[in-house]
């Protein structure tokens, strides 16, 4: 297992030299955040990012992510050109030796929370989700009330996209995902890049939009579309763990035994009601995810890929990007490494 840490580039309040001080962390998960969605990532910009990380004594281990343009998800005529651009970006990853690409296929909205600073009894704050609160969000104002992702939409843009998705149900979205994978995975394989789809977060429909990558059956379907080591998953314990119906250790054994887990996101969530949860400290005892069971399953199936502590709380007065502070994720990295070492046979 290779412990990694997400870094949002030179504008990230978390400094690379601080990340370097976390024992065991030598891989960085990052991306180019200034390239418009749908355009090819410039080779020189990607190489500069890798060089910056190398200079700090680490390596660019995972790209997370190259966003998939909405026209690809919608199956519009422009998708072929956009997929060509995507393939070019994947080739540029391969040229500088970045081995894993995490991406998602969520319509319009990336990971979604209803509170970015829920206060816990110990005084820390965390990300939380409540389906009832989501239903009260006014989308007529655009995406301003939701977390910031690769693309922010005005009220008019969002309304047009929501209208377009009325003609895309779950099966149609699967067709569009298959079209994308059938063209991108062979390029990734040739470039020695492993694709790793991130599950939908949360793993159910929001705002009436289809979400299809949410459980064991969906992940099995995904990896069978193109049967290649380059077509795998990012197994996110927090995303999948928000649905109590998902048996995470069993899912890890099924996918891991076939070599289909290409990246691990490890975080815990505490499920507090139906479609209601908040993020919690990483150890098993604080949340609903059996982290020990997940890592035990990974060990049993011989996992050797990258892992990162995912969203953490904001603790010790730290301010910055919600979920992506330094301190709690550093604690998470140490917990995960200690658990991994303790599970050695």
Catalytic residue numbers, as ranges: 198, 236, 265, 310-311, 324
N residues, the chain? 345
Whether the Cβ atoms of residue 226 and residue 195 lie closer than 8 Å to each other: no
Reported as half-sphere exposure (CB side, CA atoms, 13 A), residue 110 has a value of 18
Q: How far is CA 9 from CA 6, 12, 33, 78, 197, in A?
A: 9, 5, 8, 30, 22
Radius of gyration of the chain (CA): 19
Residues 6+ apart with CB under 8 A from 247: 216
**DSSP 3-state of 54:** helix
Whether the Cβ atoms of residue 141 and residue 286 lie closer than 8 Å to each other: no
Give the Cα separation of 197 and 24 in Å (integer). Answer: 25
* Parallel/antiparallel/unpaired status of strands 2-6 and 268-273: unpaired
Give the Cα separation of 70 and 161 in Å (integer). Answer: 8
**DSSP 3-state of 294:** helix
Nearest to 257 by CA among 239, 241, 235, 242: 235
Q: What angle do CA 312, 317, 318 make, to 5 degrees?
A: 50
Q: Is the dihedral of CA 219, 211, 282, 266 positive or negative?
A: positive
DSSP bridge pairs for 63: 30, 101
Give the Cα separation of 4 and 213 in Å (integer). Answer: 24
Whether the Cβ atoms of residue 284 and residue 237 lie closer than 8 Å to each other: no
User: At 339, which helix (H) or strand (E)?
Assistant: helix 327-342
């Amino acid at each position: 297992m290779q412990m990694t840490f997400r870094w949002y580039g030179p504008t990230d309040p978390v400094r690379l030299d601080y990340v370097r001080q976390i024992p065991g962390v030598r891989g960085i998960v990052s991306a180019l955040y200034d390239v418009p969605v749908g355009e090819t990532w410039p080779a020189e910009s990607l190489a500069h990012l890798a060089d910056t990380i190398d200079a700090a004594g680490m390596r660019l281990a995972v790209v997370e992510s190259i966003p998939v343009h909405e026209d690809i998800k919608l199956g519009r005529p422009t998708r072929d050109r956009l997929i060509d651009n995507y393939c070019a970006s994947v080739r540029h990853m391969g040229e500088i030796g970045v081995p894993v690409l995490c991406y998602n296929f969520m319509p319009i909205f990336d990971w979604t929370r209803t509170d970015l600073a829920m206060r816990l009894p110990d005084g820390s704050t965390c990300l939380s989700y409540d389906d009832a609160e989501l239903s009260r969000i006014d989308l007529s104002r655009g995406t301003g009330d939701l977390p910031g992702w690769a693309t922010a939409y005005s009220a008019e843009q969002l309304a047009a996209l929501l209208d377009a998705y009325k003609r895309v149900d779950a099966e149609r979205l699967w067709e569009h995902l298959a079209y994308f994978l059938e063209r991108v995975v062979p390029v990734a394989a040739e470039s020695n890049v492993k694709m790793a789809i991130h599950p939908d977060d949360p793993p159910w429909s929001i705002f009436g939009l289809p979400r299809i990558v949410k459980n064991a059956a969906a992940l099995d379907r995904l990896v069978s579309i193109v049967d290649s080591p380059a077509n795998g998953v990012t197994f996110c314990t927090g995303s999948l763990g928000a649905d109590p119906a998902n048996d995470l250790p069993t899912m890890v054994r099924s996918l891991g035994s076939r070599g289909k887990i290409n990246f691990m996101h490890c975080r815990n969530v505490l499920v507090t009601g139906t479609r209601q949860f908040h993020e919690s400290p990483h150890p098993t005892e604080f949340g609903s995810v059996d982290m020990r069971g997940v890592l035990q399953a990974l060990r049993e199936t011989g996992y050797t890929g990258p892992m990162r502590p995912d969203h953490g709380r904001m603790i010790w007065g730290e301010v910055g990007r919600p979920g992506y502070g330094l301190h709690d994720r550093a604690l998470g990295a140490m917990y995960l490494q200690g658990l991994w070492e303790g599970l050695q046979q």
